[in-house]
Structure 1
């Protein structure tokens, strides 16, 4: 199941909005990344999609219309919708059970009540593998489950690896890092929890033929992980459509231009457009300026001081004590190889050269 087009009518935030998720050949895209500033409506759009299905399930009249790719007749598995909001509470997990059983649900909103079942899902996986592989030892089976879990994140070259389960009745997933430290799933950092819990939840609820809505997957993740996180979600399950809302220039720069939609506020309301600017493989500065509409890449105070120095050079005030002190201070803060300072020095040299010719 994939969305081709969404039409919102009199939405309380987004008003009237028409959005297509089509590629240049008119086919529904498997990946859509929605970018935009705070308050542009990215989360509202994901919620509008989820609420459309919620209303349909409850036979409530919806102000949202969605056109789908007509391929349901060829599907072997039931379709589903999965929504991962920004805020997911990863509370401490006490113990695991080997009696976890997946039950199909069309609508799945990922929250703490689902996430807490991950250890039980892994413990049950061990038990089922034991039943079906009598020739394997218990250790070999635990190693196999750990290996399969780690393979999900292979793209990220993580410092942490799952190595088995705690040797007590809790049976919690056990991890280690390059320092040789060993800890259970509760000992993961906030970024590691976001990474493992979200991805393993998709595996646990069998994300197949699903529309997967993910709000801000970059939360607590290092930029290195942000650059590759999309591939993790795309590689989980088959025939999925992944729709992501993000503020991360690292995520935007990791996907092709045709997969990006930009939401912006205008005088007439909120608009959503396909991307004209090049982003794929571009620098973060380029994306921040052209897509995220960040007026200044530098810290505002530093930017203002650099502009002041540029103006002083233009007015031939570079011989003053004020210029000397400000320039020296910025050089100490930014370092001699800073690109903006080097441009300033070129301007200064060019100005001095012109003045020497006039003399």
Structure 2
């Protein structure tokens, strides 16, 4: 059975209405939470958008640049957050923005959406005593949502003293994203404590999973040691190096995995990390990753956190290339009116598709060739039609120098030129 809660909230003195639906299925696990659907009206650059069904495991949002992928993630985060920021704005020249989100989770978690800055209306039990009770529950718990924005790398930090105290309140704002501040301190502290008899199993489990993160993309890499200089050392094919000497791609992937582990350990200390069954938002997941790793990162995340629901955005065809059909949310539209494109052409997923096919048929790219090539090809075709041998040979020489040696376009142009030269003799 579905129930609903509706709120009006002020962001930058602008009204944005949030409507939340939730399930009261008593058979659900107490901590389980999954996003089922989302509707947005007049928020940011989005005039209208309806995503009727999210996959319970992996959701990959793609579309042309500026279509509103980050705006969608921010909207979801705002629905599951107790504080206000200046990130979300209603569309210009509209009276109110609306976000309607539907979740599948235990009714005992309904308080997640109720904070005292909202004006709740039209839901069962809307009394001051009921609201106070739900708000108290919220303050004692936090939404099962983790948001990783594009800031993932952190520079070298000399550890002269460990920051061992984590302020849980700083981890409860889903709108700012997971912070890398003190991530190195967190790893060192947990590694030092992992061998102590008083360290609980959850904390030991968290640090072991964090150490495995060094090899999840390439098994040739692994955690080596934490040495007296308080540096983290890694085994690599070229020898042992400090963590900071890893490539930005390696550190980005590790930062994502560490960010999730750290948030679960701090915010949900009674949950084993692999048992976390909330929602993880990741913006532009492909940042700093080599194309080969872009094709692995989603499977790495679902294997490392098998019970979580991921909602990510990407510009990378390599990320989509590993997806099942139901995992891709390809957006298109004009003037802010967006829709999820039907991808009936891929009923069994995209694992057999080429990058070019994904770019054109999924991501909406009109042509994978450069403007220079299209212009030269047009000139070449014009010269062929006019039987202009001199110009055709000149343009072909340019194509030969710049196209791939095995290009089928080059082979076709060579055949056409040979035909033209033969006719001219």
* More displaced stretch, 64-73 vs 296-305: 64-73
CA distance in structure 1 between the aligned counterparts of 2:177 and 2:156, rounded to whole angstroms = 14
Does 1:129 find its partner at 2:129?
no
Structure 1 residue 85 and structure 2 residue 149: aligned?
yes
**Structure 1: distance between partners of 2:289 and 2:149:** 15
For structure 2, list consecutive stretches of 5 or more residues without a partner in the other structure.
Answer: 1-32, 85-95, 110-140, 265-272
Look up the SS of the partner of 1:174 in the other structure. Answer: strand
**Counterpart check, 1:309 vs 2:380:** yes
Q: Does 1:162 align with 2:223?
A: yes
Aligned residue runs from structure 1 range 122-271, under 5 A: 122-132=187-197, 148-149=209-210, 151-152=212-213, 154-157=215-218, 160-168=221-229, 171-180=230-239, 182-183=241-242, 185-206=243-264, 208-266=276-334, 269-271=337-339
**CA drift at 1:159:** 5.4
* 1:73 CA displacement: 6.4
Structure 1 pair 284–124 and aligned structure 2 pair: CA distance change class (3 A):
same
Q: 1:133 to 1:89 in 2, by over 3 A?
A: closer
Deviation at 1:118, TM superposition (A): 2.5
Q: 1:139 matched to which residue of 2?
A: none
Residues 1:348 and 1:72: Cα distance change in structure 2 (over 3 Å): farther
Q: Equivalents in 2 of 1:219, 1:118: separation in Å?
A: 19
Q: Is the 2:147–2:177 contact (alpha carbons within 8 Å) kept by the matching residues of 1?
A: no
Quote how far apart the aligned CAs of 1:109 are.
Answer: 5.3
- In the TM superposition, residue 285 of structure 1 has moved relative to its aligned partner by 0.6
- Does the 8 Å CA contact 1:32/1:243 hold for their aligned counterparts? yes
CA distance in 1, matches of 2:356, 2:182: 41
**Structure 1 range deviating more: 334-343 or 247-256:** 334-343
Q: Is the 8 A contact 1:216 1:246 kept in 2?
A: yes
Instruction: Report the alpha carbon displacement of residue 204 of structure 1 after superposing the two structures with TM.
Output: 1.5
Match of 2:393 among 315, 324, 333: 324
Pick from 38, 47, 50 the counterpart of residue 77 of structure 2.
50
Q: Does 1:280 align with 2:315?
A: no
Output the CA distance in 2 between the equivalents of 1:83 and 1:350.
60
Contact 2:278–2:308, Cα closer than 8 Å, also in 1 = yes
Contact 1:249 1:284 survives alignment (8 Å)? yes
User: Alpha carbons of 1:277 and 1:93: their partners in 2 closer, same or farther (altered >3 Å)?
Assistant: farther
Contact 2:42 2:97 in 1 (8 A): no
Local SS of the residue matching 1:115: coil
**Taking structure 1 as reference, are residues 277 and 40 closer, same or farther at Cα in structure 2, changes over 3 Å only?**
farther
| Cα distance in structure 1, aligned partners of 2:418 and 2:232 | 62
Is contact 2:212–2:222 with CA below 8 Å preserved after alignment? no
Alpha-carbon distance in 1 for matches of 2:222, 2:176? 24
Distance 1:121 1:252, change over 3 A: same
**What RMSD, in angstroms, separates the aligned Cα atoms of the two structures?**
3.4
Trace 1:289-308 onto structure 2 (pairs within 5 A): 289-308=360-379
State the shift of 1:203 in Å: 1.3
Aligned length: 333
Cα distance in 1 for residues equivalent to 2:207 and 2:195: 14
Task: Supply the distance in 2 between the matched residues of 1:304 and 1:176 (Cα, whole angstroms).
Answer: 50
Q: Are the equivalent residues in 1 in contact too, given 2:38–2:100 (CA < 8 A)?
A: yes
Matches within 5 A, 1:102-121: 103=168, 106-108=172-174, 114-121=179-186
Name whichever of 117-126 and 198-207 sits farther off.
117-126
Unaligned stretches of 5+ in structure 1? 23-27, 135-141
Distance 1:336 1:12 in 2: 46
Q: Distance between the aligned counterparts of 1:110 and 1:164, measured in 2?
A: 32
**Secondary structure, in 3 states, of the residue corresponding to 2:59?**
strand
Shift of 1:88: 3.7
2:190–2:207 contact (8 Å) kept in structure 1: no
Q: TM-score, normalised by structure 1?
A: 0.80
Report if aligned partners of 1:227, 1:251 keep a CA contact under 8 Å in 2.
yes
